[in-house]
Structure 1
Amino acid sequence: MIVCGDDTLAHRLAAELREVYRERVTLVVPAAGAPRGSEPSSPGRARASALFGRVSAAMTRAVAPPVAPGDTPPPDLPRVLETPQLDEDVLLEAGVGDAAALALVHDDDETNIRAALAARRLNPRLRLVIRLYNRKLGQHLEQLLDQAAALADPGIDPEKLDASTTVLSDADTAAPALAATAIAGTSKVVRADGLLLRAVERTPPARGEVADPGLCTLALLSSTTNDPAGEEGSDRSGQDGPRLLPDDRSVAEATGRGTVVLEAISHTAPGRAPGPFSGRGAPLGQLFSRRLRWSLAGLGAAVVGLGVATWLTTGDHPLHAMYLILLDLFGMGDPAHGADPDRQVLQLLTGFAGLLLLPLTVAAALEALGTFRTASALRRPPRGLSGHVVLLGLGKIGSRVLMQLRELGIPVVCVEEDPEARGIPLVRRLRVPTVLGDVTQEGVLEAAKIHRAHALLALTSVDTTNLEAALYARSARPDLRVALRIYDDEFAGAVYRSLRSAHPGALTRSRSVSTLAAPAFAGAMMGRQILGAIPVERKVLLFAALEVAGQSRLEGMTVAEAFRPGRWRVIALDATAPGDRRADLATARRSGEDGAAGLVWDLHPGYVLRPEDRVVVAATRRGLAELLGRRHRTTGGQR
Structure 2
Amino acid sequence: MVVCGDDGLAHRLATELRGVYGEQVTLVVPPNERTVRPPVVGRARAVSAALLDRVVSAAVNRAAGNGSNAAGGSEPPGNERVMEAAEPTETVLADAGVERAAALALVYDDDETNIRAALTARRLNPRLRLVLRLYNRRLGQHIEELLDQAAALATGAGDPAGDASTTVLSDADTAAPALTATAVAGTTKVVHTDGLLLRAVDRPPTGPGRGGDPGLATLALLSTTSNDPAGADGSESSGEQGPQLLPDATAVREATGRGTVVLEQVSYSAAGPALSAGRGVGVVAPFASLFSRRLRWSLAGLVVCVLALAVALWLATGVHPLGALYLTLLDLFSINDPAIGASTERQVLQLLSGLVGLLLLPVLLAAVLEALGTFRSAGALRKPPRGLGGHVVLLGLGKIGTRVLTRLRELNIPVVCVEAGPEARGLATARRLRVPVVLGDVTQEGVLEAAKIHRAHALLAVTSSDTTNLEAALYARSLRPDLRVVLRLYDDDFATAVYRTLRAAHPHALTRSRSVSHLAAPAFAGAMLGRQILGAIPVERRVLLFAAVQVGGHPQLEGKTMAQAFRAGAWRVLALDTGARERERARGEGGEDSSEDVQSSGLVWDLPESYVLKGEDRVVLAATRRGLAELLGRRPRERAAT
TM-score, scaled to structure 1: 0.68
Q: How far does residue 142 in structure 1 lie from its aligned partner after superposition?
A: 5.7
Aligned residue runs from structure 1 range 388-399, under 5 A = 388-399=391-402
Contact 2:135 2:170 in 1 (8 A): yes
Say if 1:261 and 1:123 are closer, same or farther in 2 by CA, change over 3 A. Answer: same
User: Is 2:348 the counterpart of 1:353?
Assistant: no
Whether the 8 Å contact between 1:325 and 1:350 is mirrored in structure 2 is yes
How far 1:61 sits from its partner (Å)? 2.0
Amino acid at match of 1:349: L
In the alignment, is the contact (CA less than 8 A) between 2:27 and 2:81 conserved in 1? Answer: no
Match of 1:238 among 219, 225, 233: 233
> Residues 243-254 of structure 1: matches in 2 within 5 Å?
245=245, 247=247
Give the aligned partner of residue 16 of structure 1: 16
Determine the C-alpha separation between the residues in 2 that align with 1:110 and 1:287.
51
Shift of 1:525: 1.9
Contact 2:526 2:533 in 1 (8 A): no
The verdict on how the C-alpha distance between 1:543 and 1:108 changes in structure 2, with shifts beyond 3 A counting, is farther
Per the alignment, residue 476 of structure 1 pairs with: 479
1:365 CA displacement: 2.5
Structure 1 10/481 Cα, relative in aligned 2: closer, same or farther at 3 Å? Answer: same
Residue among 558, 561, 568 paired with 1:563: 568
Offset at residue 488 of structure 1 (A) = 7.5
The residue that corresponds to 2:70 in the other structure is: none
Post-superposition Cα deviations, 1:186-233, rounded to whole Å, max 9, x if no partner, equal 985535xxxx77635779799999433244124799xxxxxxxxxxx9
1:459 deviates by 2.9
* Structure-2 separation of matches of 1:537 and 1:499: 27
In the alignment, which residue of structure 2 is the partner of 1:449? 452
The residue aligned with 1:199 is 198
> For residues 450 and 359 of structure 1, do their structure 2 counterparts lie closer, same or farther at Cα, with a shift above 3 Å needed?
same
- Of the candidates 316, 326, 330, which is equivalent to residue 323 of structure 1? 326
- Letter of the 2:14 counterpart: A
- Structure 1 position 283, deviation (Å): 4.2
Q: Secondary structure at the match of 1:44?
A: coil
TM-fit CA distance, 1:532: 1.5
Q: CA deviation at 1:327?
A: 1.8
Q: Does 1:126 align with 2:128?
A: yes
Q: Distance in 2 between matches of 1:482 and 1:133?
A: 27
* Secondary structure of the structure 1 residue equivalent to 2:13: helix
Structure 2: gaps spanning 5 or more residues: 68-76, 223-228, 236-242, 267-275, 557-562, 586-602
The residue aligned with 2:433 is: 430
Does 1:216 find its partner at 2:221? no
CA-to-aligned-CA distance 1:350-407 (integer Å, 9 cap, x gap): 2222122111122122223333444565544456544432222323332233233334
| CA positional deviation for 1:623 | 8.0
Aligned runs of 1:88-237 on 2, under 5 Å? 99-105=101-107, 116=118, 119-120=121-122, 123-131=125-133, 145-154=147-156, 156-158=157-159, 160=161, 162=163, 164-167=165-168, 171=172, 175-183=176-184, 189-190=192-193, 199=198, 210-218=211-219
Contact 1:201 1:259 in 2 (8 A): yes
Q: Given that residues 414 and 435 in structure 1 are in contact (C-alpha distance below 8 angstroms), is that contact kept between their aligned partners in structure 2?
A: yes
Verify the 8 A CA contact 1:530 1:542 in the aligned structure 2: no
Query: 1:113–1:430: structure 2 CA closer, same or farther, 3 Å change rule?
Result: farther
Question: Corresponding residue for 2:73?
Answer: none
SS in 2 for 1:544: strand
Equivalent runs, 1:279-358 vs 2, <5 Å: 279=283, 283-311=286-314, 313-358=316-361
Instruction: Answer yes or no: is 1:404 the counterpart of 2:404.
Output: no
Q: Is the 8 A contact 2:31 2:84 kept in 1?
A: no
Q: Tell me the distance in 1 between the aligned counterparts of 2:308 and 2:547.
A: 70
Q: RMSD of the alignment, in Å?
A: 5.5
1:614/1:587 Cα in 2 relative to 1: closer, same or farther (>3 Å)? closer
CA 1:137/1:339 → structure 2, altered by over 3 Å: closer, same or farther? farther
The 1-side partners of 2:398 and 2:98 are apart by 32
SS of residue in 1 equivalent to 2:535 = strand
Q: Which amino acid aligns with 1:238?
A: D
2:152 match: secondary structure: helix
**For residue 52 of structure 2, what is the aligned residue in structure 1?**
60
Counterpart among 364, 367, 387 of residue 364 in structure 1: 367
Q: Quick one: distance in 2 between partners of 1:373 and 1:308?
A: 40
Distance verdict in 2 for CA 1:164–1:496, change over 3 Å: closer
Whether the aligned pair in 1 keeps the contact of 2:6 and 2:35 (CA below 8 Å) is: no
2: distance between equivalents of 1:254 and 1:429? 52
Amino acid at match of 1:63: V
Q: Secondary structure at the match of 1:563?
A: coil
Q: In 2 relative to 1, CA 46–282 (structure 1 residues): closer, same or farther, beyond 3 Å?
A: closer
1:286-310 per-position Cα deviation (integer Å, ceiling 9, x unaligned): 5433432343244234334434543
Alignment CA distance shift 1:352-1:616 (3 Å) = closer
- Stretch deviating more after TM superposition (404-413 or 345-354): 404-413
Aligned to 2:42: 50
Amino acid at match of 1:337: I
Structure 1 residues 176 and 277: alpha-carbon distance in aligned structure 2, compared to 1, 3 A threshold: closer
In 2, Cα distance between equivalents of 1:261 and 1:45: 40
Alignment partner for residue 618 of structure 1, among 617, 622, 630?
622
Conserved? CA contact 1:215–1:602, under 8 Å = no
Distance 1:372 1:550, change over 3 A: closer
Mapped partners of 1:626, 1:145: distance in 2: 28
Residues 478 and 500 of structure 1, relative CA distance in 2, 3 Å threshold? same
Taking structure 1 as reference, are residues 81 and 48 closer, same or farther at Cα in structure 2, changes over 3 Å only?
A: farther
> Which has a greater percent of helix?
2
Match of 2:461, as an amino acid? A
Give SS of 1:82's match. coil
1:363–1:151 Cα change, 3 Å? same
Q: 1:382 to 1:573 in 2, by over 3 A?
A: closer
**In the alignment, is the contact (CA less than 8 A) between 2:391 and 2:458 conserved in 1?**
yes
**TM-score for both structures, normalised by structure 2:** 0.68
Residue 100 of structure 1, CA deviation: 3.2
CA–CA distance in 1 between the matches of 2:175 and 2:245? 20
Q: Percent identity?
A: 60
Secondary structure of the equivalent of 2:406?
helix
Aligned partner of 2:313: which letter? T
Deviates more, 1:93-102 or 1:393-402: 93-102
Please give the per-residue CA displacement for 1:434-460, whole angstroms capped at 9, x wherever unaligned.
344444454443443333433222334
- Conserved? CA contact 2:565–2:573, under 8 Å: no
The verdict on how the C-alpha distance between 1:620 and 1:346 changes in structure 2, with shifts beyond 3 A counting, is farther
| Structure 1 residue runs without a partner (length 5+) | 33-41, 222-232, 264-271, 552-557, 575-581, 592-597, 634-639
Distance 2:324 2:210 in 1: 67
CA distance in 1, matches of 2:567, 2:117: 40
Shift of 1:614: 10
Q: Is the CA contact 2:401–2:426 (under 8 Å) kept in the aligned structure 1?
A: yes
Quick check: 1:299–1:357 contact (8 Å CA) kept in 2?
Answer: yes
User: Would the aligned equivalents of 1:219 and 1:261 in 2 still touch at CA under 8 Å?
Assistant: no
- Report which stretch shifted further, 617-626 or 379-388: 617-626
SS state at 1:390 partner = strand
Deviation at 1:31, TM superposition (A): 12
Structure 2 match to 1:226: none
Indicate conservation of the 8 Å contact 1:112/1:130, yes or no.
yes
The code of the aligned residue for 1:453 comes to: A
Q: Is the 8 A contact 2:217 2:262 kept in 1?
A: no
Corresponding residue for residue 229 of structure 1: none
The 1-side partners of 2:507 and 2:63 are apart by: 49
For the structure 1 residues 502 and 623, does the alpha-carbon distance in structure 2 shift closer, same or farther, using more than 3 Å as the test? farther
What code does the residue aligned with 1:102 have?
Answer: L
CA spacing shift, 1:99–1:540, aligned 2, 3 Å: closer
Letter in 1 for 2:213: D
**Residues 551-570 of structure 1, C-alpha deviation per residue, up to 9 Å, x if partnerless?**
9xxxxxx9799433xxx532
